[in-house]
Amino acid sequence: MELIVLDHPLVTHKLTHLRDRETDSPTFRALVEELVTLLAYEATREVRVEPSTVQTPVAPYHGVQISKPRPLVVPILRAGLGMLEGMTRLMPNAEVGFVGMVRDEETLEPFTYAERLPKDLSGRQCYVLDPMLATGGSLGGCVNFLVDRGADHITCICLLAAPEGIEKFRRLVEDLKVPCTLVLAAVDEKLNENGYIVPGLGDAGDRLYGLAE
């Protein structure tokens, strides 16, 4: 697994405002979209392209375009949905699938309650969106789900991660034999006894949408 943690003052600035408990939901959503666009710029560095020739007003130009099959963006519901706009703004021709996963608050283990994905992902690059990498179970479970359907290159984009979550995720994906990259805005201190990231930013889903889980 390749780990990329962005070191950029704009990312840190926006993340600081995102953490503030006084930040309201509309501002929180806007900040998430802006952060994801910055993260996506780095996360798509290995996106597959193929040659493409266009005619400029002066002469032909031999450039590239995104290859087919198109990349698949997969937000993990519900909080990952708040990251979708920032990702598709940068890569509007990507396809979008959905996976609904929740964490059992007693066992801290994830389970899938919904999915809308192609049955065959052979040859597809997938970009998984989940704001928080806490225990690592949900993200790892989603990656396994995609690999089982044939995905051969997976990049996960998260705003925050705990060290414990990174290590568990690394263990979950190390035997998959599929290239996996984890792109983060920051790595926080630890998980608390309830499995929440410290200092973190609270429950991302509640802060995005203002509803209790």
Annotated binding site for 5-phospho-alpha-D-ribose 1-diphosphate: 78, 103, 130-138, 203
Per DSSP bridges, beta strands 95-96 and 72-77 are parallel
Q: Which two tokens stand for residue 117?
A: 């994905």
Report whether 31 contacts 38 (CB < 8 A): no
Note if 37 is an active site residue. Answer: no
Out of 107, 116, 120, 148, pick the active-site residue. Answer: 107
- Residue numbers in the known binding site for uracil are 197, 202-204
Out of 70, 103, 149, 170, pick the active-site residue. Answer: 103
Note if 152 is an active site residue. Answer: no
- Residue numbers in the known binding site are 78, 103, 130-138, 197, 202-204
Note if 206 is an active site residue. Answer: yes
Q: Which of 35, 17, 67, 68 is nearest to 157 (CA)?
A: 35
What does the alpha-carbon distance between residue 148 and residue 163 come to, in Å, rounded to a whole number? 26
Out of 37, 70, 112, 206, pick the active-site residue. Answer: 206
Would you please indicate which residues are annotated as catalytic (active-site) residues?
103, 107, 203, 206
